[in-house]
Each structure stands twice: as C-alpha cells, then as structure tokens.
Amino acid sequence: MGKTLIFGHKSPDTDTICSALVYANLKNKLGLDAEPARLGEVNKETQFALDYFGVDAPQFIEKVADDVERVILVDHNEFQQSVDNIKDVRIAEVIDHHRVSNFETKEPLYFRAEPVGCTATILNKLYKENGVEVEKDMAGLLLSAIISDSLLLKSPTCTQEDVDAAHELAKKADVDLEKYGLEMLQAGADLSDKSPAE
Amino acid sequence: MGKTLIFGHKSPDTDTICSALVYANLKNKLGLDAEPARLGEVNKETQFALDYFGVDAPQFIEKVADDVERVILVDHNEFQQSVDNIKDVRIAEVIDHHRVSNFETKEPLYFRAEPVGCTATILNKLYKENGVEVEKDMAGLLLSAIISDSLLLKSPTCTQEDVDAAHELAKKADVDLEKYGLEMLQAGADLSDKSPAE
Ligand SMILES: [Mn+2]
Ligand SMILES: [Mn+2]
Ligand SMILES: [Mn+2]
Ligand SMILES: [Mn+2]
C-alpha cells in the first residue's frame, strides 16, 4: 500500500493538528505508512502544546501530491474545510465529531464520527480498540486537544467521555490537568509576540 | 429520551431487515427504547431467515411518525434510499458499509461506516464493544445477512472480517454455515409461490 496522508481542517486548531500527529503515530504502530500534514499555520496555543511535549509540527501542504495513495481526514469532513483538491483523492477514513455535510465518496470507507467534544477522545478509544498503548508525548497531545475544544472541560459540547479521557490522559502525560490546561489556553490567548518561555 | 426507530433502505434485503432487528435488540439491552421498522416488503430469502430463527418481521412504515424522537439508519445512508421524510427527522446514528453520498445532518451524530461486506459484521463488533452477548436467534439473523450480502462468502466485497464473523455466528446460531446458507439463498431464488415448507 502506498503513502497515506492524515490531516485536519484549514485554519488548524489544536485538535486538528494533534489528531493528525497522533493518528499517524497509531497508524505507524499498526504498520501503515502514514504521515501527518497541516493545511495552515500552527497557532500559539498549539505550538505551546507541541513544545511542551517535544513534538514537531506536521508538514504544511497546499494540496495532496500525486504520490499520495489515500488520505485520512481528522476533525472535519466538509469538503470546503478540507484540502483544495479533496475531490481528486481517495478518502480512506474520516475520524470526526462534527455534523456530516458536503461530504461524499465514490467507494466505501471507514467513517467514524461520534457526538463527543473532541476528535482526540475518539482517537483515545481507537488506541484501546487496537490494543496499542498511548505513549507519554501522544497522551499529552490528545489531552491538549481535549482541553482546547472543551475550554478546560467547561464548554457545552464537552461530554462525560471527554472528561474521562482527559483525566486518563493527564495521568499518562504526567501533567496536572488544571495547571497545564490554563497555561496552554493562556499561551493561545497571548496577543503579544512573546514566546511562553519569555 | 423518546422513541428511536431503526430501519434500513427501501426495497429491503436481508442485511437491511436483519440489521434493523438486531440493532434494536442491542439498543434495548443497553436500555434504549428502540423499535425496528422496514420501508418495504420482506423478500422470500429474508422471510426464510426470519422463519428459521423464529423472529417476526419489523413493522412497515411509510414515513416516520411524529412521536418518534430520533432515527437510526442501518445498511444505507443516501437519502434517496431512505424514508421519504428523512430530512424532517433527527438522525442519531448510521451503521453502514456503503460509500457516503447524499447525506447530511444538522448536528453531530454517531456515524459508523466500515469498508466490509455487510452491516451485520459491524453490528457483531458493536455487541463486543458494548460487552453484550449475541443470543442464538440474533446470531442467526446476523449470519443470514452476511450470507446474503456476500453470496455465501464468495462475492468480491466480502472481507476477512465478514468471513470470521460468519463462522463465529454460525456456531452461536447452531447451524451448518454451508448447508443453511444454500437453503436460504435457494429460498430467495425460488420464483414459484411455494413456501419453503412445501
Ligand atoms: Mn477543529
Ligand atoms: Mn475538534
Ligand atoms: Mn442492503
Ligand atoms: Mn448490506
């Protein structure tokens, strides 16, 4: 099987970037040649999370290259939020937590949407279903995505599943959920050009 | 939570009828008020399976009634294959193995599509994921659906997952896979008006 590219939506948020990175990690562990990508700039909140857990941002792509055999969409399904040439590529999977709209395929695919607050919560389940342990840095990224989408478990879209996953992942990532979460959200809210370390 | 209706596509086949019946059974065991329904006549093949395992056909509906709070689609997602007033109802879940097309929702939902040969194969996994045992009659219906969609495990859409599920379910249903499968397919191919018992 050729290369698989995994990416989230345009104007990426922390769930989109982290879910692409983490799902590529899971796919690699399952023996698939998968690479994470992004469709836009990494924002400050997301960069804080990447720096904290020592993970590089995924590659930026403007469109899916010709040598890519299949793509996996995370954290979105609507074509207008996706890569510009989405209609020309084979969509093998979608992992998402949004309504389904403006989406279609020519062939059957793995489509996993759940009405939870964050894609990362679904990915945490996929590790379990596949019997793969979530490593510390990946747990940190999944936790960061949940904190971001749920505004530290306070948004109305946050479900009990998100809350349970966040607590479980905080343990694996070895951070204090409240303390880390506030620092991360503050890093995103920081309008100055100072890096979190300054 | 109000009533949930579960149904497959128009011109129902064995997978559509059996998946509606079986998923309603699983939902009931999980404490949800769910009822199976059908959008057309039960064909002879399906009737053979229902008779064999002693299960009544689901209720026929022309449209979703006003007292139904939510619907679950099995074995289809395209609106033109679904109930006529599909755009007026809340779709809570989709369990399917076809391409996604002509489908949209206003809200997030549970959407589970997998590139396997039969909806029943996915339902067999859902029992496991929910820790519920598949009873003999329900195993028989799931098996019948797989035999039907895969033409006794011989169609090109049949995957290893379908094969494994079929063998596992034949054991639980206490039937010989080949023998039962041929009888069921023959009952469907019978163009006379004779019932299988004659
Ligand atoms: Mn997002
Ligand atoms: Mn998200
Ligand atoms: Mn069907
Ligand atoms: Mn089917």
The model's pLDDT over B24-51, given as tens digits with 9 standing for 90+, comes to: 999 999 999 999 999 999 999 999 999 9
Kindly state whether A56 is in contact with chain B, defined as any CB-CB distance less than 8 angstroms: no
Q: Does the distance separating the beta carbons of B114 and A107 come in below 8 Å?
A: no
Q: What pTM, to 2 d.p., does this model score?
A: 0.93
Q: How far is B119 from chain A (nearest CA, A)?
A: 12
Dist CA A94 CA A112 (whole Å): 6
Dist CA A184 CA A103 (whole Å): 33
Kindly state whether B78 is in contact with chain A, defined as any CB-CB distance less than 8 angstroms: no
pLDDT in tens, A114-164: 999 999 999 999 999 999 999 999 999 999 999 999 999 999 999 999 999
pLDDT at B193 exceeding the cut of 80? no
B3 strand-pairing partners = B68
- Which positions of chain A have pLDDT values less than 50? 197-198
**Ligand 3 midpoint to CA A44 (Å):** 48
pLDDT at B198 exceeding the cut of 50? no
Give the sheet arrangement for strand A59-60, strand by strand: A59-60, A34-38, A3-7, A68-74, A91-96, A110-113, B110-113, B91-96, B68-74, B3-7, B34-38, B59-60
**Angstrom distances, CA of residue B145 to CA of B19, B121, B162, B191:** 8, 9, 10, 20
For residue A141, give every residue at least 6 positions away whose Cβ sits within 8 Å of its Cβ, in sequence order, or none. A18, A21, A22, A49, A50, A53, A55, A120
What's the pLDDT at B190? 72
Q: How far is B190 from chain A (nearest CA, A)?
A: 31
Residues of chain B in contact with residue A101, where contact means CB-CB under 8 angstroms, are 104-105
pLDDT in tens, B139-171: 999 999 999 999 999 999 999 999 999 999 999
Q: In Å, how far from its chain's centre is CA A58?
A: 11
Q: Which residue's structure tokens are 């079986």?
A: B22
- Search chain A and give the residue with CA nearest B114: A110
- Search chain B and give the residue with CA nearest A76: B108
Give the nearest partner residue to A98 out of B103, B108, B115, using CB atoms: B108
* Amino acid identity for residue A103 in this structure: F
